[in-house]
């Protein structure tokens, strides 16, 4: 799994698996889209306006990340 955040456009992308070839994208809301690979498996999730939709919900909730091992590239 790879999680990427682009602060210039405030977009978060969660790549669950690497898949070769084309994916199909289904927009769930104006800010959230899901990418599907062959066979309908979810391969990624895109969140636009991430600073509002993920990082700060306005009601004090925060995103907690647990049990991840840092990797270097």
Q: What is the pLDDT of residue 19?
A: 83
What are the pLDDT digits (tens) for 15-65?
A: 999 888 889 999 999 999 999 998 889 999 999 998 887 766 555 556 666
- Whether 71 shows a pLDDT value over 90: the answer reads no
* Helix, strand, or coil (residue 53): helix
Q: What is the pLDDT of residue 61?
A: 57
Q: What is the pLDDT of residue 60?
A: 58
Alpha-carbon separation of residue 50 from 31, 47, 55, 68 (angstroms): 8, 6, 6, 20
- pLDDT band of 1, cuts 50, 70, 90: confident
């Amino acid at each position: 799994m790879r999680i990427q955040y682009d602060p210039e456009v405030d977009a978060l992308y969660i790549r669950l698996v690497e898949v070769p070839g084309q994916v199909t994208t289904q927009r769930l809301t104006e800010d959230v889209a899901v990418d599907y690979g062959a066979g309908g498996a979810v391969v990624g999730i895109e969140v636009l306006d991430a600073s509002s939709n993920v990082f700060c919900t306005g009601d004090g909730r925060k995103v907690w990340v647990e049990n991840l091992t840092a990797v270097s590239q």
